[in-house]
Amino acid sequence: MTPKLKHLLEVKDLQCHFRVHEGMVKAVSGVSFHLDKGETIGLVGESGCGKTTTAYAITSLLPRNATIQGGDIVFKGRSLLTNVKKDKTIDIFDEQIRKTRWKEISIIFQGAMDSFNPVYKVGDQMVEAIRVHEKVTYEQAKKRVCELLATVGIGPDRFDHYPHEFSGGMKQRAMIAMALALNPSIVIADEPTTALDVVTQYNILREIKRIQREENVAMIVISHDVTTVAEMSDRMIVMYGGKLMETSPTMDLFENPAHPYTMGLFDSIPSLTGDRKEMAERLASIPGSPPSLLEPPPGCVFHPRCPYAFEPCNKDLPPDVEVSPGHTAACFLAEDLYHKRREDEWKKLR
Ligand code: SF4
């Protein structure tokens, strides 16, 4: 009997570096998480924290100067890193990985609106994507494309339109349809609504969530915007300086963050109702800027900006502390911060 798979996807201690003129950029350093069928996880953090590199490692879309220094990515029980060469670079033409990408794991890119080729009709580009992976006739693929476009609220009359005839929101919705074209098990959405206006953003996110539920696909939603991700995710992962800072069920993370970086991220979310002066003070709550990943700081990577930093933080790596079931934070003070926050909230309620 085949053993039951523990998780649909497991990222285990992934270490991905980039060779650049100045040395090695340690973009991802020891990242581990899992994803289950039908689940949505949100990956958040400031620009350059390693979110997109992690996504590109999963889909094997890393550039030529990327190296996998360690760890593994296991999908349905098999490694996706079989294309890593002896010198730790990646064979981007590996046939097996090419098949997995799109058919099993698809991605909605950052700025996906510009991903369509402007000289081909949108429908034909989608048909082509299906026919590269499946032996179907043009007519069969076209029927599937029209169904998919309908799923995201685009009529079949748009099949023969060129990308410039689509609005930004429509192009983004067409990209979502394209990502679903081959019935993947996992869809990765990397900043899926960047560059869209707020109303379109809201509609697109609702669309993604609805489709995700109906098709029961697992999703990884990546964004620097915590609120965008929180609305859609069952669990959230907070990254900083190429490392995981905190992982938690979404509700528990919002109610009781246990890592100072997560607290800073949440404190920088503007409120529509708060006092303006107090809010302006709060919004500047993470002083400094993200570290250079050419030479990340020793110890806790967040220590140069952390208001709670103390003696061991600048030399020792903090452990991953489980503060409640499924909620871990990489901080020496995680337990204290988690429980103190809970106590404070409780006092406010009384
Ligand atoms: Fe701050 Fe130290 Fe915790 Fe890092 S380990 S987040 S520096 S208190």
Q: What is the pLDDT of residues 22-60, one digit of tens each?
A: 999 999 999 999 999 999 999 999 888 999 999 999 988
Range 182-186 average pLDDT: 89
178 lines ligand 1 (CB under 6 A): no
Identify the three-state secondary structure at position 41: strand
35 lines ligand 1 (CB under 6 A): no
Mean pLDDT of the chain: 86
Identify the three-state secondary structure at position 107: strand
Ligand 1 atom with the shortest distance to the CA of 310? 2
**Tokens 């990765």 -> residue:** 188
Listed residue (263, 281, 259) closest to 335, CA to CA = 259
* Whether 252 contacts 263, CB under 8 Å: no
Q: What is the pTM of this model?
A: 0.87
**Tokens 């899926």 -> residue:** 192
Ligand 1 atom with the shortest distance to the CA of 260? 6
Q: What is the pLDDT of residues 57-69, one digit of tens each?
A: 998 888 889 999 9
Give φ, ψ of 13 to 5 degrees. Answer: 50, 45
Return the residue whose CA atom lies nearest to atom 3 of ligand 1: 331
Q: Residue 329 forms beta bridges with which residues?
A: 246, 321
Return the pLDDT at 93. 72
48 lines ligand 1 (CB under 6 A): no
Asked whether residue 207 carries a pLDDT value surpassing 50, the answer given is yes
Handedness of CA 247, 252, 255, 256 (dihedral sign): negative
Asked whether residue 18 carries a pLDDT value surpassing 80, the answer given is yes
Return the pLDDT at 158. 94
Return the pLDDT at 132. 86
334 lines ligand 1 (CB under 6 A): no
Identify the three-state secondary structure at position 207: helix
Confidence tier at 345 by pLDDT (50, 70, 90): low
Report CA(243)–ligand 1 centroid distance (Å). Answer: 13
Q: What is the pLDDT of residues 142-153, one digit of tens each?
A: 999 999 898 888
CA 117, CA 95: separation in Å to the nearest integer?
24
CA 68, CA 322: separation in Å to the nearest integer?
28
313 lines ligand 1 (CB under 6 A): yes
Q: What is the pLDDT of residues 270-287, one digit of tens each?
A: 654 555 555 455 545 677
